[in-house]
């Protein structure tokens, strides 16, 4: 090989990352939302979100839907890059419409409708389960048929955990929001009866670390649940974007040190992706392999993506 070609291929080799690793980093965002029912229709919401995903190489996003119309809209236009999920149980809104999702069925998707969409594959996840906001326990009677459907169709379930948001944050900024809000319900221990009843369920805990160190029992229960159920994963949304970086760093190190680095998944909760990535890159103790796992591999395993789809995500045509 002529010398200049040798150096050329050497530089290409390094540009592509050592040992053949591509520098391109596909991302799976496990935590996104189409607008809540109460939101003023943001005409460009889908366009804006899809542009944000594309700009950061988010190849797949779990998108929470709040009505059947919204599901149709997103499924028609954004099916390659999103997995449609369904939100429940939604909190009461003291204004009209009186629930933040599925207002015709008191904040829950209608069961026959949900089953038809799970069967067809149009809905492939339940997310975000809003127990804190709604004030009912995950093991409540009302939820049983939904857990049973998640198990029957083997779909992943994202649960809002930990005690936030505090009054005045997120949708609690709306004075009409959530008369039954109960932060204690976000303790992951409340998922134990559900996991005992449906041990195969793939559940991911959302917002892990979002109380910082203020409630140590939440850390104890989170780590215990992860230890007892290998099919429980988590996202650090809000902890990774809004909380001080020290809190985020402590959370991620605590999880990695406890042996759960292979269960942490990336979630933005619709916060801008770039600052989250910058904060993650600033955590020096994370290796590039751990970063890649958090950004893509852990979620790909949790979602059981096929080798073919993983190849396509790594090398789009
Ligand atoms: Zn969320």
Give the distance (Å) from ligand 1 centre to CA of residue 23: 29
For every residue of 164-195, DSSP letters joined together read -PPTTSGGGGSTTB-TT--GGGG-GGGGHHHH
Is the Cβ–Cβ distance between 86 and 71 less than 8 Å? yes
Give the distance (Å) from ligand 1 centre to CA of residue 266: 12
Per-residue model confidence as pLDDT tens for the chain (317 residues): 444 343 444 443 333 444 444 467 999 999 999 988 766 555 568 889 999 999 999 999 999 999 999 999 999 887 789 999 999 999 888 888 888 899 999 999 999 999 999 999 999 999 999 999 999 999 999 999 999 999 999 999 999 999 988 888 888 888 888 888 899 999 999 999 999 999 999 999 999 999 998 999 999 999 999 999 999 999 999 999 999 999 999 999 999 999 999 999 999 999 999 999 999 999 999 999 999 999 999 999 999 999 999 999 999 87
Give the distance (Å) from ligand 1 centre to CA of residue 313: 24
Give the distance (Å) from ligand 1 centre to CA of residue 15: 36
Give the distance (Å) from ligand 1 centre to CA of residue 11: 42
Query: Cα–Cα–Cα angle for 239, 235, 250, nearest 5°?
Result: 45
Q: Model pTM?
A: 0.90
Q: Where are the domains of the chain?
A: 25-314
Superfamily of domain 25-314: Metal-dependent hydrolases (3.20.20.140)
Cβ atoms within 10 Å of 317's Cβ, excluding its own: 3
Q: Which one, of 249, 244, 259, 254, lies nearest residue 220 by Cα?
A: 254
């Amino acid at each position: 090989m002529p010398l200049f070609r040798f150096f050329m291929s050497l530089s290409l080799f390094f540009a592509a990352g050592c040992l053949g690793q591509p520098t391109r980093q596909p991302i799976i965002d496990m935590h996104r939302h189409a607008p809540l029912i109460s939101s003023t229709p943001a005409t460009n919401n889908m366009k804006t979100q899809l542009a944000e995903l594309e700009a950061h190489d988010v190849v797949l996003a779990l998108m929470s839907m709040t009505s059947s119309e919204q599901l149709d809209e997103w499924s028609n236009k954004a099916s390659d890059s999103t997995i449609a999920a369904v939100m429940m149980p939604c909190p009461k809104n003291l204004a009209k419409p009186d629930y933040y999702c599925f207002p015709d069925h008191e904040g829950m998707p209608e069961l026959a409708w949900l089953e038809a969409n799970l069967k067809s594959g149009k809905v492939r996840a339940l997310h975000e389960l809003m127990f804190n906001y709604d004030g009912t326990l995950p093991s409540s009677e009302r939820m049983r048929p939904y857990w049973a459907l998640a198990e029957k169709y083997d779909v992943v379930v994202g649960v809002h955990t930990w005690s936030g948001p505090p009054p005045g944050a997120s949708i609690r900024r709306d004075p009409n929001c959530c008369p039954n809000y109960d932060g204690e319900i976000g303790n992951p221990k409340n998922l134990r009866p559900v996991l005992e009843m449906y041990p195969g369920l793939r559940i991911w805990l959302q917002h892990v670390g979002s109380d910082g160190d203020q409630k140590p029992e939440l850390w104890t229960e989170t780590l215990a649940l992860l230890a007892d159920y290998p099919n429980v994963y988590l996202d650090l949304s809000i902890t990774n974007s809004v909380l001080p970086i020290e809190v985020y760093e402590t959370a991620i190190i605590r999880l990695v040190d406890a042996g759960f680095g292979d269960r942490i998944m990336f979630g933005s909760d619709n916060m801008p992706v770039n600052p989250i990535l910058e904060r993650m890159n600033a955590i020096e103790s994370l290796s590039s392999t751990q970063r890649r796992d958090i950004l893509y591999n852990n979620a790909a395993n949790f979602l059981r993506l096929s080798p073919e789809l993983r190849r396509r995500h790594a090398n789009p045509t």
